[in-house]
Amino acid sequence: MFEVQPPGSFPLSVDPAFQADAVRDLEQVSRMVREATRPFPVLGLILTGSVARGEGTLIADAEAGTRWLGDLDCVLVAPSGWRTPAREIDDAILQVVSQLNNDPANRRRGLKLGLNRMPASRLARLRQSIFNRELLEHAKLLWGTPAALPTPSWWTAGVREVPLRDAFRLLNNRIMQQVIARTSQETGDAEPLSTEYRLGKFWIELATSLSVFLGCYRTTYRERQSAFEALLTARPEIFGAEFSQLLVSRLREAMAVKFGQSPRVLTPPGRWFNEAARVARRVWFWESARMLDANPLGTNSDDANPDDTDWRLVISRLRRLETGRQRARDWMRLLIRDRALRRLTPYAVSTLRAALSAGSRANAIYASGSLLEFFWEEIGLETEPGPQIARTLGTFLNVRTGSGPARRLMLARSAQAAWEQHLHFSPA
């Protein structure tokens, strides 16, 4: 499937005016990774994500010329087997990523590399998912040996369906990233442009998740937006006309930002975060109900006004939706990654107890992210249900809670740390 396509042989940027700058940056990345990994038996460097689809976002910048509003995401494919010097390759990757991302000129232009190593055997075993389908359909092999890169059997057989579970996981991950964005906004660490871009990503990926449930998923932003709008226009009864129009409007605004147009003024930013949280809660309850229902496109009376005010339902639904296989894999991941758990220290015992209370560590983290996003204001108050939710999150995250906004901030940071350590780059 793969063929070598060096930088400059395919579109990178939405705006053709920025193509030359994008090619120059990708050539630098490609060259540095190749030089850093030359001593090792690597099989190739694959560009993934929106840049590989020709949908990368650069904008004009008065000082730097152009500025990136997204990362350059790449996968370095290595041979499988015990003879592959995995740790040495990872050290080389960390060094080149640090060198690129910490370069002052690159920081001014927002140029940031995301690079992960993938054994060829894992490439052959990729599960059906949104990310993997887009990777296999649009990824570009910048250099390497095409014949040495395998493809999964389901892809070779022509299967293109994305499981609902993966779409729901995407929604949960984006909700967690919204919590991170809200935390940065509250502490004053967020730049306005960064905040706008994160909110735009929320609307785009929420629509992506919904598109899988609605049967209109496409692998490019433009095609997906068109299909999503067409379906909601044709079937407003799914969410109601007002809510459907809100989804369409916010997706259009987010796509405009994604494609480099001037963002709206975030005044006040809390309003936009509150609106996103309200929509996320509605969609989360709708999707989880569809997964628990035999009719995924049912439009019963509860769909228009779902009971999304009972915070306990978030926990119970996550437990019901998690399969035995997912739970076993998550526990194995937890025991492998956290060596302290194998020594049964007091911290380990309390962490295991917290995971058990939610069914798994993944459930505890996703429930924490969702409850923080859906009940952000309540958790910052001293009236119920805020303190009760906070105590539950304190149990899930193995932290002691304080009071008020400081309590909310501590919980949000703990949820972020747990998500980044346990779930961010983990397969579904």
pLDDT in tens, 57-82: 898 888 889 999 889 999 999 999 88
> Which pTM value belongs to this model?
0.87
In a domain, 9, yes or no: no
In a domain, 395, yes or no: yes
Reply yes or no on whether the pLDDT at 343 is more than 70: no
**Among 308, 330, 349, residue at a domain's last position:** 308
In a domain, 4, yes or no: no
The whole-chain average pLDDT of the chain stands at 88
Domain count, the chain: 3
Closest CA to 379 of 351, 352, 353, 415: 415
Q: Give the residue-averaged pLDDT of 138-145.
A: 97
Residues 14-40 have pLDDT tens digits of 889 999 999 999 999 999 999 999 999
Residues 139 and 44 in one domain: yes
Percent of the chain at pLDDT above 90?
A: 69
Residues 210 and 113 in one domain: no
Task: Find the domain containing 201 and state its range.
Answer: 163-308
Mapping DSSP onto H, E and C, the string for the chain reads CCCECCCCCCCCECCHHHHHHHHHHHHHHHHHHHHHHCCCCCCEEEEEHHHHCCCECEEEECCCEEEECCCEEEEEEECCCCCCCHHHHHHHHHHHHHHHHCCHHHHHCCCCEEEEEEEHHHHHCCCCCHHHHHHHHHCEEEEECHHHCCCCHHHHCCCCCCCHHHHHHHHHHHHHHHHHHHHHHHHCCCCHHHHHHHHHHHHHHHHHHHHHHHCCCCCCHHHHHHHHHHHHHHCHHHCCHHHHHHHHHHHHHHHHHHCCCCCCCCCCHHHHHHHHHHHHHHHHHHHHHHHCCCCCCCCCHHHHCCCCCCCHHHHHHHHHHCCHHHHHHHHHHHHHHCHHHHHCCHHHHHHHHHHHHHCCHHHHHHHHHHHHHHCHHHHCCCCCCHHHHHHHHHHHHCCCCCCHHHHHHHHHHHHHHHHHHHCCCCCC
pLDDT of residue 424: 64
- Calculate the dihedral angle through the C-alpha atoms of 246, 248, 254, 257, rounding to the nearest 10 degrees: -120
pLDDT of residue 300: 45
Confidence of residue 358 (pLDDT cuts 50, 70, 90): confident
pLDDT of residue 267: 52
pLDDT of residue 306: 55
We report the CATH number of the domain holding residue 129 as 3.30.460
Reply yes or no on whether the pLDDT at 295 is more than 60: no
Reply yes or no on whether the pLDDT at 296 is more than 60: no
Residues 99 and 210 in one domain: no
Closest CA to 229 of 244, 215, 241: 244
Residues 168 and 303 in one domain: yes
Reply yes or no on whether the pLDDT at 257 is more than 90: no
Reply yes or no on whether the pLDDT at 299 is more than 50: no
pLDDT of residue 165: 95
Residues 82-112 have pLDDT tens digits of 888 999 999 999 999 999 999 999 999 999 9
Confidence of residue 311 (pLDDT cuts 50, 70, 90): very high
Residues 94 and 217 in one domain: no
pLDDT of residue 84: 86
Residues 132 and 205 in one domain: no
Residues 93 and 170 in one domain: no
pLDDT of residue 303: 44
In a domain, 7, yes or no: no
**Among 134, 156, 178, residue at a domain's last position:** 156
Q: Among the listed ranges 158-162, 242-246, 265-269, which one has the minimum average pLDDT value?
A: 265-269
In a domain, 314, yes or no: no
Q: Among the listed ranges 34-43, 259-268, 326-335, 418-427, which one has the minimum average pLDDT value?
A: 259-268
Residues 105 and 125 in one domain: yes
pLDDT of residue 26: 98
Please give the Cα distance from 167 to 353 (Å, whole number): 29
Are 253 and 8 in contact by the 8 Å Cβ rule? The answer is no
Reply yes or no on whether the pLDDT at 249 is more than 90: yes
Residues 261 and 351 in one domain: no
We report the CATH number of the domain holding residue 303 as 1.20.120
Residue 112 CB burial class (10 angstroms; 0-12, 13-18, ≥19): middle
Reply yes or no on whether the pLDDT at 271 is more than 60: yes
pLDDT of residue 305: 47
pLDDT of residue 337: 62
pLDDT of residue 269: 64
pLDDT of residue 330: 79
The strand pairing partners of 47, in sequence order, are 74, 140
Residues 379 and 286 in one domain: no
Residues 143 and 170 in one domain: no
**More confident position, 69 or 125:** 125
**Among 248, 274, 308, residue at a domain's last position:** 308
In a domain, 3, yes or no: no
Residues 62 and 30 in one domain: yes
In a domain, 5, yes or no: no
| CA distances for 315 relative to 180, 310, 367, 370, 416, angstroms | 20, 10, 6, 9, 18
C-alpha 304: how far from its chain's center? 27
Residues 383-410 have pLDDT tens digits of 999 999 999 999 888 888 778 889 999 9
In a domain, 211, yes or no: yes
Residues 224-244 have pLDDT tens digits of 999 999 999 999 999 999 999
Reply yes or no on whether the pLDDT at 51 is more than 80: yes
**More confident position, 18 or 187:** 18
pLDDT of residue 108: 93
**More confident position, 411 or 299:** 411
